[in-house]
A and B are shown apart, each in its own frame.
Chain A
Amino acid sequence: MTLNEVVIFIAAVVIAPFIGGFLSGIDRKLTAFIQGRYGPPIWQPFYDVIKLLYKQKLLVNDFQVFSAYMYLLSAILSVGLFALKADLLMILFIMSVGLVFYIAGALSTKSPYSQVGAQRELMQMLAYEPMLIFFVISVYNVTGSFNLAQIMTHGRLILDLPLMFLLLGLVLTIKLKKSPFDLSASEHAHQELVRGILTDYSGPYLALIHIADWYEMILILAMIAILWSQNLVIGALIALATFFMDIVIDNITARMTVKWMLAFSWSISILFTIINIAYIYFRR
C-alpha cells in the first residue's frame, strides 16, 4: 500500500458518513414535504446520532457490543476498499460478514421483537444478496473482470446493463428498509415489531449501527455511480436520482409481507438477469 492509497482510504472513510447522514436528512425532509409537513432540520440525523452516542449504555449482553462494532468495521472496510478500487466480489462478501454479525447480535437477546426482526432481516438478505451477485456476474460478462479499476475503464456500463441498474435500485430500497420492504425494523414509527432488529440495540450501539447503515447506503450508491464511470459526476447524479426515486416509492407504497418480498425479488432478479445477459450476448 502506497501513501497515496492510504490517503484515499482515510478520505473515503471520513467523508462517507457525512454524505450518508446528509442524504438521510434530505430523505426525512423530502418525506415530510410529500406528507405535507414542515419536517425536521436537514442536520437531524447528526443530532440523533450524537445524542445516542452520549446516552447511557444499557446492555443485554456483551456480544451485542462486539456485533455492533463488527458491523461498523465491515461497513467501513467495504467502503474503503471500494475507494481503493479493489475486487467487487470481495467487497460484497465483507459487507455480508458485517450483516451476519448485526443479525447474530439481535438474535443473541431474548426479546421476541428482536428475534422476529432478525429473522426478517435474514429474509431481506436472502432477497437482495442474489441480486448483488447477479449484478457482479453481469458486470463480469461485459468487462471480463471483477476488479473495480478494470471495470471503471468501461465508461458507460449503464447502456449495457439497463436492467441491472433497475435491480440495484431495488437493492437500495431493500437495504434502506424502505416501504414496501420495511419489514425488519419498522421504519417511520409503524411499531408493529416495536423496532424489530434494533429493539435491543440502544444508546451508543444504536448510533454505531446508524453510522454503519450510512456507510452501506453510500456503498450501494457508489455501485450505481460506477455504471457511468466515464464521468463520475454524471454517475453520482444517476445515483442521486435513484435515491430520490426510492424515497418517492417509500411514500407511495404500503408494507408487504416477507413471502411476497422473496417471490417478487427472486422472480424479478432472475428474469432481469437472464434478459440482460442475453442482451449482452446478442449485441456482440
Chain B
Amino acid sequence: MGLKEFIEKSFKKSPWVLHYNCSSCNGCDIEILACMTPLYDMERFGMVNVGNPKHADILVVTGTVNTRNKEILKNIYDQMPDPKVVVAVGVCAATGGVFREAYNVIGGIDKVIPVDVYVPGCPAKPEAIIDGLYKATEILKEKYEKMGKAEEVLK
C-alpha cells in the first residue's frame, strides 16, 4: 500500500463527528448518543464525538432550521476545515417534518447548507444513523480525492 492509498484510507477510517441540535425535539439526539454506548459503539469505525468544529470532519444535524438558528448552523459549517460532510438525521432535518408549515421554520437543513447523507426516521434508529455515518465516511474519502485532483489542476 502506497502513501496515497494510506492517506485515503485514513480519511475513511478516522471521521470525527460534530453533533448540532438545530431546534430538534431531542428524540434524534438521544438516538445519536445511543450510537456511542457499548451496545452500538461507533468508535469501532474510528468515529469520535468532538465538540469543536475545527477538529470535525462530519457534521451531524438534527431538527429543522428556523430563522434564529440558520446563522449559527451556517457559521458552524464554515468553521469546519475541508473536506467535510454533512449528515441530516431524522425527518425534520431532511424536510422539516411535521413542523414544515410552522411560521418560524425554514425547512430541512439543505435550505441552508449542502447535505450529503439523509438518514430517515422519526426518530432515526441508531443502526440507521451508524449506516448513514459509514456512508458519510465513504463520501469524505471521495471528497479528499477530488480535493487532490483540484489541486493538481490548479498547479
Contact = CB atoms under 8 A, between A and B. Distances in A.
Interface of A: 28, 32, 35-41, 44, 46-48, 50-51, 54-58, 186, 189, 191, 194-195, 198-200, 202-203, 206
Nearest to B55: A202
B77 to A, nearest CB: 13
B16 to A, nearest CB: 8
Contacts of B43: 28, 32, 37-40
Contacts, number: 83
Interface in B46-89: 46, 48-52, 54-55, 57, 79, 81-83
A189 B81 contact: no
Contacts of B99: none
A55 B43 CA distance: 20
Given A51-B11, A54-B144, A202 B81 contact: yes
A272 to B, nearest CB: 36
A82 B104 CA distance: 63
B82 A56 contact: yes
Nearest to A201: B54
Nearest to A32: B43
B13 interface: yes
A37 B38 CA distance: 5
A189 B50 CA distance: 6
Interface in B20-60: 38, 41, 43-46, 48-52, 54-55, 57
Contacts of A50: 6-7, 10, 14
Name, among A40, A198, A206, the residue most crowded by chain B CB atoms within 10 Å (CB to CB).
Answer: A40
7 contacts: A36-B38, A39-B44, A44-B13, A47-B9, A194-B51, A199-B54, A203-B54
A48 B46 contact: yes
Contacts of A203: 54, 81
B44 to A, nearest CB: 4
Nearest to B15: A51
Contacts of B9: 47
A46 B1 CA distance: 15
Contacts of B82: 55-56
A41 B45 CA distance: 8
Contact of A51 (B14, B41, B49, B50): B14
Nearest to B147: A56
Contacts of A37: 38, 41, 43-44
7 A-B pairs closest in CB distance: A191-B51, A202-B54, A56-B81, A50-B10, A47-B14, A56-B82, A51-B10
Contact of A38 (B10, B44, B81, B83): B44
Contact of A47 (B10, B38, B41, B55): B10
A57 B81 contact: yes
A198 B48 CA distance: 15
Contact of A206 (B14, B46, B48, B55): B55
A283 B98 CA distance: 80
Given A56-B82, A202-B54, 6 more contacts: A40-B45, A47-B13, A54-B11, A55-B57, A195-B50, A200-B54
